[in-house]
Chain A
Amino acid sequence: MIPLQWTVMLSCALLAVGVLGLLTQRNALRVLVAVELVLNAANINFVAFANYHGKSDAIVYTFIVIALAAAEACVGLAILIHFYRHGRSVDVNKSSMLRW
């Protein structure tokens, strides 16, 4: 069996990779890709702890997080395409429409 600490350490490393991408990307599409990395890092923990404790509830929460990620990608990409239509750009630094 895989020791629990390995899985947790892997998911922490993936979380760091995702957050790094989230903070440094300029392209809105790539920011969304980084968000997917972060969500998957969280899901790995859910699965690991579900198998460790023998509880099915965490498996259910994995499904919920996957559905949540689908919803997030859906709205995120809709906003992205809207943003692109509006300004012909997907650079998040140029998104100043709602800035006062």
Chain B
Amino acid sequence: MDVETVSFAIISLVLLASGIASSMVKRTFHSVMFLGVFLVSVAALYVLLGSPLVGVIQVLVYVGGILTLFVFAVMFVAGDETETTEAAPALQPRSSAWSAVAAVLIAAAALYVMAMYMMSANHAAAGLLGGHSETKGKTEVWVASTLAASVGFLAGLVFLVVVAVAALLAWLGVRHTIDRWSGSRIFGTALAGLVLGLLLALVARSGAWSGAAATDANQTQANDLDRVMDALFGAQAIPLEVLGILLTAVMIGALVLARPMQAPPDAERYAQVTRDQLRESQMASDVALHAEVGK
């Protein structure tokens, strides 16, 4: 257990806890504050992984900009409906268990794709980003691919089992039991955590990754500022340009959205004032006219 491992464990725990807490806490403002904890922890993780530059950008843009925006949004829409009450819980209880299953399936699919990529990068030496030329025997490739495929298969199997159990219970006529089970958010979260933990344990033991870790040389190379800027304005210039166009569009769109749709609430009062002034001036001129005539 070296320092890096312990730090990684602590950061992981904080990330998972704050991520879950941001969807579970009652008040929206607390949710945003947990998002802040999450974002700062992600920055710490970037530093730990060897990219302090990304960590700095993360704190500057995310915590300094986006989080402030969220806090302002909470301030604008603060009201009874943003606070969750017993009558209107933050989570949709009926569908929370199914949502948990869907979330785990999506995560499993992502894990599966990355395991496949690792296999291709390690063994076939033809990764998308290039880099590794470590070739091994074809048998090992086959075994590793089978393991990766079994991860996806297991995810599908778990999903099928859950569906089958739910259908069986529904057929047995214990509908209210299902409703009560799936109604509790604890059940959904526990189910998701259990299945995801199983999947992660399986992948961790599968040997598909073969203890792959970044080397010092690679870390230095990837985070060298000259290289990053070369990539930013060289090979990745077109994505950067597209991003510029997107940001312009976003700016215009936000301006259009932020513009008040109807006249401001003061407009009526101003109109009233001018009308009153007009009437007064008319009356004054009438009085003057009468005075003229009277003479």
Neighbouring A residues of B73 by C-beta, 8 Å: 29, 77, 80-81
Which secondary structure dominates where chain B touches chain A? helix
In whole angstroms, what is the CA distance A21 to B20 when docked? 8
Are B204 and A4 touching (Cβ within 8 A)?
no
Looking at A36, A61, A79, the one whose CB has the most chain B CB atoms below 10 A away is A36
Contact A59 B231 (CB under 8 A): yes
Whether the pair B15, A75 counts as a contact (CB closer than 8 A) is no
Q: Determine, out of B44-52, B170-178, B283-291, the stretch whose residues face the partner at the interface.
A: B44-52
Chain A residue with the shortest CB-CB distance to B199: A12
Chain A nearest CB: distance from B93 CB in Å? 9
**Are the CB atoms of A8 and B235 closer together than 8 Å?**
no
Given A26-B88, A43-B42, A77-B70, A19 and B103 contact (CB-CB distance below 8 Å): yes
What is the bound-complex CA distance between A62 and B261, given in angstroms?
Answer: 36
- As a 0/1 sequence over residues 6 to 23 of chain A, the CB contacts with chain B under 8 angstroms (1 = contact) are 111110111111111111
State whether A29 and B218 are in contact (beta carbons under 8 Å apart), knowing that A16-B106, A43-B42, A56-B228 are contacts in the complex.
no
Is there an interface contact between B196 and A25, defined as CB atoms closer than 8 Å?
no
Q: Cβ of B221 < 8 Å from any Cβ of A?
A: yes
For B243, list chain A residues within 8 Å (CB). Answer: 64, 67-68
Task: Evaluate contact between B114 and A20: CB separation under 8 angstroms.
Answer: no
Contact A78 B253 (CB under 8 A): yes
User: What are 28 inter-chain pairs, A to B, with CB distance below 8 A?
Assistant: A1-B214, A4-B213, A8-B111, A10-B16, A15-B103, A15-B106, A15-B110, A16-B104, A16-B107, A18-B103, A21-B19, A25-B90, A37-B38, A43-B58, A51-B214, A53-B131, A55-B130, A56-B227, A59-B53, A60-B232, A60-B236, A61-B236, A73-B66, A73-B69, A77-B69, A84-B76, A88-B81, A90-B82
